[in-house]
Structure formats: structure tokens, C-alpha cells
Amino acid sequence: NCFGSTRNAIKGDHHVLLGTMVEGNYDDCAIQVTDSEGNTSEALQVPSFRVDFTSPMLSQVGDFRIEGRKVKMKLKASEEGNLVFSGNCSGDLQHMKQGKSKVTISFPGDGQYSDCEVSLSDASGNTSEPLPLGTIRIDATPPVLAEIKRVPEKIQTNRPSYSFKTSKSGTLNFSGKCRGNVDKAVAGINHIALLTTEAGTYDDCTMTLTDSSNNRSQPLKISPFVVEGQS
């Protein structure tokens, strides 16, 4: 099923190009030489090989998920091969089998990335079209909270004013005996009211803030105060 680029040979080493073939496996190719006296050599069996001109296909399956500085996604390959990552990203999966596989792609830091692409190279050196990830926004930095104006140590109101500062906007969560009159905060200084239910000491109140990328701040301990009476 194969033929060479020349039909003549001289004594010594030879480099022969095998002619154009269709795709497939070739395991029956052999070479014989017949000299000028009509003597024919033993057949030299050519090691089996595969001809493959078709580029693999790589596609994304479903949506990806951003976790910290990593993007988790599922890829589908038309054939087995090696993944090649280009742009400002890298992947944990280097070799991919035919079918679907999970891959985690890492980015170097917070920011917006639009140059990350993945391609697949098969055993014959054919490479798929690059698969762009599009624009990826990475935000793995948690908000930072700081107390600005504490509640006086002794008060006679069930809605004391409280001021704090946050590095990012997000959703507030309170724990302990205190609650807030709002559940959102914007970057910068925020003025809220703490809601108390009864007279007594409030020394276990904390608050956290979760931003739009699901990063949660460290708990901010609200300075303790005593409610002596309510008005």
C-alpha cells in the first residue's frame, strides 16, 4: 500500500520518501532491490506507521467556574493529545484522552485576562484551532474591614450608631447578639445602626463582608458596649 519517491538505488545508504497516501495505518510496506543481474534481495519490512492529516477538535463543555485564581472547566477532545496553553495562564492537565476531561486553569494574580487560549496537539503533530476562554476576571483578594467609630461603652438606645470602613463592596453578615439595620456595604466608610434586643452587655458581636467574587473578609470584632436602657 505504499511506494517510494525513486525506483533506482546505488550501493550505500539511501533516504527514500514514501509517496502520498490516504489516512490510516500502514503495516505491510516492504522494499526489495533487484540488481543488474536480476538478483532480488530479501524484502526489507518497513516498520508500521500511521498517516494522519486531520487536526483534532477541542471544545468547551458547559460553563466554567471561577474559584480564587483558578478556572475549572470541562473540555471535549475528538482524539487523544497534548494540551497547549497560551497567554497569561497555565493548566494542570497536560495530556488529554479522547472525550471529556476536567481541567483547572491558573492565572498569576487578580485582574482581567483575555489572552488565554487552549489547543490540542495529536500524536501526528496536528494541532486544533485555539479555544479562547474569552475575558476572565480574577478576584481572589478578600475585603478588609476596620472599625472607624465605635459604639460608646454605655448607651441607652436599642439602635446605636456604628461606623466602619471596607476595602470592597459586598454583603454583610453579623454574628453574636448584634444585628445590622442593613445587609449591604459599599467600599469606603459606612454608617449603620446596630440592632439590640434587650439591655445588657454586647461583647460577642462580629461582622464579615463577602464581595461579588465570594471572597469573605476576616471577622471584624465590634468593640463591646453595654445597653443600660432602651428608648
Task: Please say whether the beta carbons of 164 and 186 come within 8 A.
Answer: no
In this predicted model, what pLDDT tens digit does every residue of 72-130 receive, in sequence order?
Answer: 999 999 999 999 999 999 999 999 999 999 999 999 999 999 999 999 999 889 999 99
User: Which domains can be identified in the chain, with CATH numbers?
Assistant: 1-51 (no CATH), 58-138 (2.60.40.10), 145-227 (2.60.40)
What is the percentage of the chain residues whose pLDDT exceeds 70?
98
Whether the CB-CB separation of 225 and 154 falls below 8 Å is answered with yes
Which pLDDT belongs to residue 81? 96
> Would you say residue 231 has pLDDT above 60?
no
Mean pLDDT, the chain, whole residue set: 92
The pLDDT, as a whole number, for residue 230 is 53
**What does the alpha-carbon distance between residue 193 and residue 164 come to, in Å, rounded to a whole number?**
11
pLDDT-derived band at 27, boundaries 50, 70, 90: confident
Q: Rounded CA gap, 50 and 23, in Å?
A: 7
Confidence band of 8 (pLDDT split at 50, 70, 90): confident
**Residue 27: how many other CB atoms lie within 10 Å:** 12
The predicted-structure confidence for 35-82, as pLDDT tens digits, reads as follows 888 899 998 888 888 887 889 999 999 999 999 999 999 999 999 999
35 phi, psi to nearest 5 deg: -80, 180
